[in-house]
Amino acid sequence: MNDVFEEEAKLRKWMDVEIALAKVHAELGRIPKEAPKKIEQGSRRVELSRVLQIEHEIHHDLMAMVKALSEQSGDYGAYVHLGATSYDIEDTATALIFRDALSIIKKRLLSLSQILKSLALKHRKTVCIGRTHGQHAVPTTYGMKFALYYTEVKRHLQRMEEAEKRILVGKMSGATGTRAAFGKDGEKIEKRTMELLGLSPVRVSNQVVQRDRHAEVLSLLALTAATAEKIAKEIRNLSRPEIAEVAEAFGKKQVGSSTMPHKRNPHKSERICSLARLVRANVQTAIENIPLEHERDLTNSANERFIFSESFIVTDYILSQLSSVLEGLELFPENIKRNLELTKGLVMAERVMIYLVDSGKMGRQDAHELMRTLAQDAFAKKKHLKDLMVEKKLLKKDEAERLFDYSTYLGDAETIVADAIRD
């Protein structure tokens, strides 16, 4: 991902667009047929250092590339950048960069989805306590957790594929989008140039491709980073000593703290959560780039030199780190079982309530009120709810044993997991 956003790579993409434009001019007989080949050959001799030297003199990065490319193209340098404005080249090249960058992100997401799928299958019967509002709810499975994450990651892949038709676009329409500098061939030049580059032409533009498209790209990355944070935050919380159901892999020589030798910090998960904030913050800047003045101003340009590369590189890193964490994730079955029993059966109150209704012993509201008061009573007396109900002759012992078996109160969890990870 770093390679995609290197200055050298950007320069090459700019020149790719210039070469495509020259080829179209030649196809239409507007410049000599041999010009595109000479310009393409010249592009191989252009060095970033020379472009930067020219930029230092003229204070215009795109024009510095044009001059450097013209220098290396001999007499055919006169045909470089013919009829184009800077952002015909820059915005079209940005779409080419986005295409390469999105390809990497999609591969990362696909790899992550396969890890989650494997974990969902492996733990489809690993019963654990579910938590809502930070409190114990009813049993679920780790398979459900991983299947939920799997489907979310797959949605990000779908979003990116669906959004590419809006994102992978370019323009070759001149200073205000009218294509006036290309004369009668303007429409042909724009369409054919984009065709050669594997992009779609925008339907209408001004001097730039409209920034809602770029904001969408960064929003997709932010959504992806938010899911990664969601998973990482769950790992962090489940790693707390008082829960201790999971833990990041910890190397034999790994140090958790400079002063507390016992520490086993979930530092990779914390890093993911930290960096996700950065990716989300960049979306705000991208959105503020949308309302440029008139046919455009330059207020988007400087920050885009940071937010595009930063968001892609950081998201790529986040996904890499998360895959590493999940591949090495440790689960502690004894603690998972301990936490299921932590409330002494209170988490099965819902099941008993439904049973009392289904067996015709009382109505739903009465059953709810009974279980609510019994739960409070059991909590106050530090008794197991099952034992209290048997003691009060509300359940027979065999009924109680069956109703308080956590592994049999999972509904369709196993089927849900199987359905969720079926591609």
Q: Which residues are catalytic?
A: 133, 257
Task: Quote the distance between the C-alpha of residue 307 and its chain's center.
Answer: 15
CB 193 within 8 A of CB 172: yes
Distance CA 390, CA 375 (A): 14
Distance CA 69, CA 50 (A): 10
Residue 200 backbone dihedrals phi, psi, to 5 degrees? -100, 145
Q: Which residues contact 150 (CB under 8 A, 6 or more apart)?
A: 113, 116, 117, 120, 420, 421
Task: Quote the distance between the C-alpha of residue 186 and its chain's center.
Answer: 38
CB atoms within 10 A of CB 255: 11
Beta strands in 289-382 (DSSP E): 330-331
Residue 215's SS3 state is: helix
CB 264 within 8 A of CB 250: yes
Amino acid at 290: I
Strand-pairing partners, residue 127, are 141
Distance CA 310, CA 294 (A): 28
Candidates 151, 180, 217, 216; CA nearest to 88 is 180
Candidates 120, 117, 175; CA nearest to 143 is 120
∠ CA(89), CA(93), CA(95), 5° rounding?
130
CB atoms within 10 A of CB 63: 15
State the chain's maximal CA–CA distance in angstroms: 101
Amino acid at 190: E
